[in-house]
Amino acid sequence: MQNVYFDNAATTPMRQEVIEAIIEVMNNNFGNPSSSHSFGRSSKSLIEKCRKTIAGFLNVSASEIIFTSGGTEADNLILKSAVRDLNVKHIITSKIEHHAVLHTVEALQKEHQIRVSYVNLDEAGFIDYFHLETLLQSEEKTLVSLMHINNEIGNILDLKRVALLCKANNALCHSDTVQSVGHFKLDLREVPLDFLVGAAHKFHGPKGVGFAFIRKNSGLKPLVLGGEQERGLRPGTESLHNIVGLEKALKIAYENLEKETYFLRDLKKYFINSIKAEIPNIKFNGASFDKEKSTYTLVNVCLPISHEKASMLLFQLDLKGIACSKGSACQSGSSQNSHVLAEILSHEDLKKPSIRFSFSIYNTKEEVDYVVGVLKELI
């Protein structure tokens, strides 16, 4: 039996260089970044160096990067503050967003009676841009929240088109880019977003740290009170070693982007061709089979087996040493089907098991052969 980790959309293994950078900081830079003595100043200078590096990759000002505990906190900070502080009365989103956005929007709708509109989707899970434009014809202060890359089916949103539509209609634009930061280049001078979020553990960095891009003079205020850290928007002593780990991981990701993208595109293509050859009746959910319209990091497949046989499939794969998922890791343990697939699959296909396989640079074609062979055997 092999051990194969094909759940990189949930989290990625840390690079060795990142681990070493974190250990070095934990050993040598323990001062509180808010302290005025040399130990504190040393820690503070490291944080500002990291902030500047991340801002450089996004082509924004360092002051527009706010460190958080991850994507979920950053999404909450932006959405809740926008309603409370920026007088947003209307949020446009889709029904296949991450729950960090969907649950926050639902809570805001109940607590603040804001209006929520869901943009139409086609059968592959892509938004209807013309419907979005129609929804933007509103006299209310509006915020659009649409993810760049869907974490379950891998569809890529035309982020520039959405941002320009928002700008033309005086709406704010927020995007959860957790699945794209570190995997795709994002130039925020060219793509005029107001808000964006990222998380280190999606690109071989540590868990428990991420960031929000909040465009200068946005007017947002903190959700948590207690200090002036992170430009006053995110009080609390910064997790220095994690921030350094985030910066190191992002730096390596972008320095090696072309080479690693080529490797992963090839691996995904090999997976698709192999599974189609061995399991002819397989279906691909969303546009995850399309190399242009979906991310190169994942494939979501609908397997041609009965509901009864499907109930133990993930357990059987786990017994064979294969890690994958039926959807977002945040839904782990839930008996409910994926809310993403529920929006785009037929009633019959929803009865069949759908599995997300997501890849990293640490995977191999030999692992693909093993996984496809096990799937064929089980089916």
Question: 45, 34 in Cβ contact below 8 A?
Answer: no
Whole-model pTM: value is 0.94
**Residue 364 scores a pLDDT above 50:** yes
Residues 163, 24 share a domain: yes
**3 state DSSP class of 357:** strand
**pLDDT class of 222 with cuts at 50, 70, 90:** confident
Q: Is 330 designated active site?
A: yes
What's the pLDDT score for residue 332? 46
**Residue 329 scores a pLDDT above 70:** no
Residues 268, 224 share a domain: no
Residues 171, 39 share a domain: yes
Residues 199, 53 share a domain: yes
Q: Which of 236, 255, 274 is the last residue of a domain?
A: 255
Percent of the chain with pLDDT over 70: 97
Mean pLDDT across 257-265: 98
Type of residue numbered 246: L
Number of domains in the chain: 2
Query: If you search the block for the tokens 């529920």, which residue do you land on?
Result: 342
Of 362, 337, 363, the closest CA to residue 350 belongs to 337
Of 337, 354, 233, 347, the closest CA to residue 283 belongs to 354
CATH of the domain at 357: 3.90.1150.10
**pLDDT class of 207 with cuts at 50, 70, 90:** very high
**pLDDT class of 223 with cuts at 50, 70, 90:** confident
Question: Average pLDDT of the chain?
Answer: 94
What's the pLDDT score for residue 336? 61
Give me the domain span that covers residue 339: 4-12+257-378
What's the pLDDT score for residue 327? 60
Query: If you search the block for the tokens 């320009």, which residue do you land on?
Result: 164
**3 state DSSP class of 280:** coil
CATH of the domain at 22: 3.40.640.10
Checking 277-285 for CB contacts under 8 A at 24+ apart, the result is 278/372, 278/373, 278/375, 278/376, 279/303, 279/304, 279/372, 279/375, 279/376, 279/379, 283/349, 285/125, 285/152, 285/153, 285/341, 285/344, 285/345, 285/354
Mean pLDDT across 330-348: 76
Residues 277, 249 share a domain: no
Predicted confidence (pLDDT) per residue in 126-138, tens digit: 999 999 999 999 8
Catalytic residue among 166, 173, 324, 330: 330
Tell me the CB-side half-sphere exposure of residue 221, using CA atoms within 13 A.
Answer: 7
